[in-house]
């Protein structure tokens, strides 16, 4: 392979050298106005183009050098003509060149000057030239020669408004000339594949592909001819070009030329000739990549529609959508072996097209999706990763267009397509949907929409097709479920009845999620429900008490069942927190039995399910905190609950934990803003009990380490004493406070005590506080004054 390249470089270098040498003598001849020598050397120079050893790229390099030299010759011819030399004679003269290829290059060069001189009608000269070029049947040489002709005649076509315009129908002459050159070039190009040994087919195809622009250039020239109006395009240009494309039966040519037609002619023309253009598609070879061709056509037309609103009526008038839709159907039918990817790509482009051109026609979009479903049905789930990617982009298109999932939810075929995604991709798509909702803050406020939405994103809501993928990355899973949680929080409607329906719908779906998902999805549902409760709380109870109307009681009932599902996970700590949240909400609704029920549930969990000691500590503090805030309970219920709470506290595993829980329980008996809960005696009992436990803790530490433990617990209890002292609890006397302080100081001074700077500082600042309160004066100051530190 490397040898071939090297050889080629050598051939090119030799060609260039030969060319330069002859060019040199040609220049000399030009400088001395020696026409005969100029022709001689230029012909020799052009002989270098007779090589068959170069690939198209290299040949092009050589050709360009010859091309540049010919410009000088052309200028010389012009000067000659100006000096009175007959251009007709020149035209005759160059035909004496011995070799046909140089002869034709020279002829084209003189021909261009000939036309410019206007001594003969452009059309005659052009016709002559394009006919004569038939003399070269070697594909590469012929293609370059003809592209030379195309180039030198480029600005001399008898187009309307051109200085070479003749009397009548001259645009037609220009068109005929270009069409003829195009046809001949295409034939050369197509024939090339049949030449040479079969084993070099691949190389040949590559070379043909490199040459394609020489052929396509003609179409560009046609597109630039001003006189080619819609009518002429429709009647002459398009049919003639398509005839050539269809009849050449060559895959490469057909694919490339269709692409060219679409790109070089204006959009208006395409719209007005859609039937013809699309009609050619099923006639192409079955291997032609029509999907790309059509996709590009639709992309172009979409851009056109986007670029000017004036274009829209045109699209409607020619029924562009239904024509494209039909054409795609036919192509898919004709190309039985078209892979799914191709099908989806086509429909994606059509969808993009209709979303751009007919944003108001959701039925069109749905129709496209429906056609897709039809094509996909009967097939297993998609395995082809490119195809699934394409489906994701297909499904994302409406979201991106409307920025509103609610519109996509109206597309009945949307969920059907999602069925064909494997579960991984299904999840990706579901995530895309949720992100769209988040980004656009879409309000989804009706239960049936929520139902449809959850149907769409079910890949995230439950395990599909019964398989549990344990290879799923833990972080990814969390991320997914968190996004579902955020989504649940976003569903909202002011209307209580509708909101309740939404909650029930969400609940129905998330309960299918299994133990791994529930801990993520239950909390947002619970809080949504509680939000609804609070909303109702503000309203008066419906005096007519309609049976089916939503009441806090009804919601609490549902909540109770909802939280209960966590027991299967199990997630007792989370469930306990949620029960307590519910209890607090019930409290605010003055529903004592309901609140009591929630507490009971929390207690059962605490007793039966929470066994880890750290978890117990956290739980007991939550329980105490919540219970402290409850005001709905009557004496009896409250007693039962506080009794249990203090019981739990005293039974915690570690002494310090016990001690702290017990002194916190003191708050259950003395609540600032509740007149009936001011039981000083029981407060004192709690604190004394805490002191005893602190003592025991101290002794245990002593036994274990031979020194006393920290006095921190005592200082903490002292602070509780001070709190209740200040609040006016009669049981907390000056003497009690005083003796506690003394106790602590003695402890700290004992030889066996372990130095603990934190505890020292804590005590110091507590004492400073006492000092500070004394300074304050007034009732408080007086109170504190009696404490001697």
Partner 1 sequence: MPSRRRTLLKVIILGDSGVGKTSLMNQYVNKKFSNQYKATIGADFLTKEVQFEDRLFTLQIWDTAGQERFQSLGVAFYRGADCCVLVYDVNSMKSFDNLNNWREEFLIQASPSDPENFPFVVLGNKIDVDGGNSRVVSEKKARAWCASKGNIPYFETSAKEGINVEEAFQCIAKNALKTGEEEEIYLPDTIDVGTSSQPRSTGCEC
Task: Determine whether 140 is exposed, middle or buried from the number of CB atoms within 10 Å of its CB (0-12, 13-18, 19+).
Answer: buried
Written as one string, the DSSP assignment of 145-208 is HHHHHHHHHGGGS--TTSTT--SSSHHHHHHHHHHHHHHHHHHHHHHGGGSS-GGGHHHHHHHH
How many secondary structure helices (H) and strands (E) does the chain include? Answer: 39, 0
Part of the chain binding partner 1 (CB under 8 A), chosen from 52-60, 417-425, 661-669, 705-713: 52-60
Window contacting partner 1 (CB under 8 A); options: 54-62, 500-508, 621-629, 675-683: 54-62
Looking up tokens 């947002």, which residue turns up? 524
Burial of 423 (0-12, 13-18, 19+ CB in 10 A): middle
Cβ distance to partner 1 smaller for residue 65 or 621: 65
For residues 267 and 229, the answer to whether their CB atoms sit within 8 Å is no
The whole-angstrom separation of Cα 308 and Cα 176 is 33
Choose which of 123, 141, 146, 217 interacts with partner 1 (CB under 8 A): 217
Does the protein bind partner 1 through residue 316 (CB under 8 A)? no
* Contact stretch for partner 1 (CB under 8 A) within 222-230, 618-626, 695-703, 774-782: 222-230
Kindly state whether residue 65 participates in binding partner 1, applying the rule CB under 8 A. Answer: yes
Using the contact rule CB under 8 A, the part of the chain among 100-108, 221-229, 335-343, 367-375 near partner 1 is: 221-229
Nearer to partner 1, 223 or 329 (CB): 223
Q: Is 210 in the site for partner 1 (CB under 8 A)?
A: yes
Q: What is the distance between the alpha carbons of residues 551 and 589, in angstroms, rounded to a whole number?
A: 11
One of 260, 428, 447, 575 touching partner 1 (CB under 8 A) = 260
Residue 613 interacts with partner 1 (CB under 8 A): yes or no = no
Closest approach, Cβ 163 to partner 1, in A, equals 11
Position 13 contacts partner 1 (CB under 8 A): no
- Distance from C-alpha of 270 to C-alpha of 217, rounded to nearest angstrom: 19
Residue 463 interacts with partner 1 (CB under 8 A): yes or no = no
Burial of 337 (0-12, 13-18, 19+ CB in 10 A): exposed
What token pair was written down for 651?
A: 């039974």
Is position 53 an interface residue for partner 1 (rule: CB under 8 A)? no
Is 40 a binding residue for partner 1 by CB under 8 A? The answer is no
According to the binding rule CB under 8 A, does residue 23 interact with partner 1?
A: yes
Print the binding letters for residues 73-92 with partner 1: x by CB under 8 A, - otherwise.
--x-----------------
Binding of partner 1 by 154 (CB under 8 A): yes
Among 56, 102, 139, 142, contact with partner 1 (rule: CB under 8 A): 56
Q: Does 306 bind partner 1 (CB under 8 A)?
A: no
Shortest separation between residue 493's beta carbon and partner 1, angstroms: 39
* 220 binding partner 1? (CB under 8 A): yes
- Asked whether 156 and 214 are in contact (CB, 8 A), the reply is no
The span of 82-90, 258-266, 411-419, 718-726 binding partner 1 (CB under 8 A) equals 258-266
Kindly state the tokens that stand for 567: 């027991």
**Contact predicate 192/208, CB 8 Å:** yes
β-bridge partners, 670 = 678
Q: x/- site string to partner 1, residues 631 to 650, per CB under 8 A? A: --------------------
Of the chain, the end-to-end C-alpha distance in Å amounts to 101
- Spell out the residues 6+ positions from residue 163 whose beta carbon is closer than 8 angstroms to its own: none
- Provide, rounded to whole angstroms, the least separation between the CB of residue 290 and partner 1: 16
Q: How far is the CB of 214 from partner 1 (least distance, A)?
A: 7
CB neighbour list of residue 311: distance below 8 Å, 6 or more residues apart: 267, 268, 304, 305
Residue-wise burial string across 153-179, b where 16 or more C-beta atoms lie within 10 A, e elsewhere:
beebbbbeebebbeeeebbebbbbbbb
Q: Examine residue 71 and tell whether it contacts partner 1 (CB under 8 A).
A: yes
Among the listed residues 4, 13, 14, 64, the single contact to partner 1 using CB under 8 A: 64
Of 43, 145, 190, 219, which lies in the binding site for partner 1, with binding defined by CB under 8 A? 219
565 contacts partner 1 (rule: CB under 8 A) = no
> What value, to the nearest 5°, has the Cα angle with vertex 677 and ends 674 and 678?
110
Q: Which is nearer to partner 1, 274 or 759 (CB)?
A: 274
Stretch that binds partner 1, among 208-216, 346-354, 373-381, 469-477 (CB under 8 A): 208-216
Query: Binding marks (x or -) toward partner 1, 162..201, rule CB under 8 A?
Result: ----------------------------------------
The phi-psi region of residue 147 (left if phi > 0; otherwise alpha if psi is between -120 and 50; otherwise beta) is alpha
Which is closer to partner 1, CB of 310 or CB of 751?
310
The stretch near partner 1 (CB under 8 A) out of 25-33, 333-341, 508-516, 611-619 is 25-33
Task: Please select the residue that binds partner 1; options are 122, 214, 641, 770, rule is CB under 8 A.
Answer: 214
212 makes contact with partner 1 (CB under 8 A):
yes
Out of 8, 25, 121, 618, point to the residue binding partner 1 (CB under 8 A). Answer: 25
Q: How far apart are CA 385 and CA 365, in angstroms?
A: 24
Distance of CA 421 to the CA centre of its chain: 16
Distance CA 108, CA 114 (A): 9
Q: Which is nearer to partner 1, 304 or 364 (CB)?
A: 304
Interface with partner 1 by CB under 8 A: which range of 125-133, 220-228, 319-327, 440-448? 220-228
Q: Which residues contact 626 (CB under 8 A, 6 or more apart)?
A: 580, 583, 584
Comparing C-alpha atoms, which of 307, 298, 296 is closest to residue 325?
298
Q: Residue 782: is it exposed, middle or buried by C-beta count within 10 angstroms (0-12/13-18/19+)? A: exposed
Among 209, 482, 699, 719, binds partner 1 (CB under 8 A): 209
CB neighbourhood size of 752 (10 A): 10
Number of residues interacting with partner 1: please give it, by CB under 8 A: 45
DSSP state of 754: P
Q: Which is nearer to partner 1, 150 or 589 (CB)?
A: 150
- Residues of this chain that interact with partner 1 (CB under 8 A) are 20-21, 23-25, 27-28, 30-31, 56-57, 60-61, 63-65, 68, 71-72, 75, 150-151, 154-155, 209-214, 216-217, 219-220, 223-224, 226, 259-260, 263-268
């Amino acid at each position: 392979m490397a040898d071939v390249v090297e050889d080629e470089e050598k051939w090119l270098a030799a060609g260039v050298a030969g060319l330069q040498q002859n060019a040199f003598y040609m220049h000399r001849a030009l400088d001395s106005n020696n026409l005969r020598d100029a022709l001689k050397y230029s012909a020799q120079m052009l002989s270098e183009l007779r090589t068959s050893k170069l690939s198209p790229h290299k040949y092009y390099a050589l050709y360009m050098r010859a091309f540049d030299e010919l410009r000088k010759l052309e200028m010389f011819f012009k000067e000659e003509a100006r000096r009175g030399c007959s251009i007709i004679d020149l035209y005759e003269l160059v035909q004496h060149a011995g070799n046909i290829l140089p002869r034709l290059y020279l002829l084209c060069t003189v021909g261009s000057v000939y036309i410019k001189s206007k001594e003969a009608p452009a059309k005659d000269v052009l016709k002559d030239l394009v006919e004569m070029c038939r003399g070269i049947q070697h594909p590469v040489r012929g293609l370059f020669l003809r592209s030379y002709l195309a180039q030198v005649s480029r600005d001399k076509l008898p187009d309307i408004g051109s200085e070479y315009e003749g009397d009548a129908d001259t645009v037609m002459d220009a068109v005929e000339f270009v069409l003829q050159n195009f046809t001949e070039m295409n034939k050369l190009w197509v024939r090339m594949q049949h030449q040479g040994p079969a084993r070099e087919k691949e190389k040949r195809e590559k070379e043909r592909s490199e040459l394609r622009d020489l052929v396509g250039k003609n179409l560009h020239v046609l597109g630039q001819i001003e006189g080619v109006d819609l009518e002429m395009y429709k009647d002459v240009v398009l049919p003639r070009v398509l005839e050539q494309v269809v009849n050449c039966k060559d895959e490469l040519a057909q694919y490339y030329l269709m692409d060219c037609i679409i790109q070089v002619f204006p959009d208006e023309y395409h719209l007005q000739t859609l039937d013809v253009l699309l009609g050619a598609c099923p006639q192409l070879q079955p291997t032609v990549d029509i999907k790309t061709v059509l996709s590009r056509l639709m992309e172009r037309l979409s851009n056109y529609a986007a670029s000017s609103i004036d274009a829209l009526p045109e699209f409607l008038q020619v029924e562009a959508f239904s024509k494209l839709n039909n054409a795609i159907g036919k192509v898919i039918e004709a190309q039985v072996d078209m892979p799914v990817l191709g099908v989806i790509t086509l429909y994606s482009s059509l969808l993009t097209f209709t979303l751009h051109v007919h944003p108001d026609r959701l039925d069109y979009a749905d129709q496209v999706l429906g056609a897709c479903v039809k094509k996909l049905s009967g097939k297993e789930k998609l395995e082809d990763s490119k195809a699934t990617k394409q489906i994701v982009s297909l499904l994302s298109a409406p979201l991106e267009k409307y920025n509103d999932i609610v519109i996509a939810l109206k597309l009945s075929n949307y969920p059907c397509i999602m069925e064909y995604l494997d579960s991984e991709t299904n999840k990706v798509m579901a995530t895309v949907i949720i992100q769209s909702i988040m980004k656009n803050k879409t309000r989804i406020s009706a239960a049936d929409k929520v139902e449809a939405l959850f149907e769409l994103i079910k890949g995230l809501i439950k395990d599909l097709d019964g398989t549990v993928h344990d290879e799923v990355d833990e972080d990814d899973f969390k991320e997914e479920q968190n996004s579902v949680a955020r989504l649940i929080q976003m569903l909202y409607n002011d209307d209580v009845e509708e909101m309740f329906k939404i909650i029930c719908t969400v609940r129905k779906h998330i309960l299918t999620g299994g133990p791994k998902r529930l801990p993520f999805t239950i909390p947002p549902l619970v809080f949504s429900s509680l939000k609804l409760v609070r909303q109702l709380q503000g309203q008066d109870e419906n005096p007519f008490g309609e049976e089916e109307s939503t009441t806090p009681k009804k919601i609490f009932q549902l909540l109770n069942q909802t939280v209960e599902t966590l027991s299967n996970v199990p997630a007792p700590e989370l469930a306990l927190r949620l029960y307590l949240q519910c209890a607090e909400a019930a409290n605010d609704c003055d529903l004592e039995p309901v609140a009591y029920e929630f507490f009971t549930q929390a207690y059962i969990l605490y007793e039966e399910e929470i066994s880890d000691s750290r978890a117990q500590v956290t739980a007991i503090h939550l329980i105490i905190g919540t219970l402290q805030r409850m005001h709905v309970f009557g004496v009896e219920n409250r007693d039962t609950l506080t009794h249990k709470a203090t019981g739990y506290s005293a039974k915690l595993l570690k002494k310090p934990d016990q001690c702290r829980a017990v002194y916190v329980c003191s708050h259950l008996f003395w609540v600032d803003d509740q007149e009936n809960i001011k039981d000083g005696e029981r407060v004192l009992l709690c604190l004394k009990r805490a002191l005893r436990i602190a003592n025991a803790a101290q002794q245990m530490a002593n036994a274990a380490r031979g020194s006393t433990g920290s006095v921190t617990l005592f200082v903490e209890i002292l602070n509780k004493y001070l709190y209740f002292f200040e609040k006016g609890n009669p049981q907390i006397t000056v003497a009690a406070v005083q003796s506690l302080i003394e106790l602590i100081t003695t402890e700290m001074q004992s030889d066996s005590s372990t130095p603990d700077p934190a505890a020292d500082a804590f005590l110091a600042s507590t004492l400073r506080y006492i000092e500070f309160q004394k300074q304050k004066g007034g009732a408080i100051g007086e109170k504190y004054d009696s404490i001697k530190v």
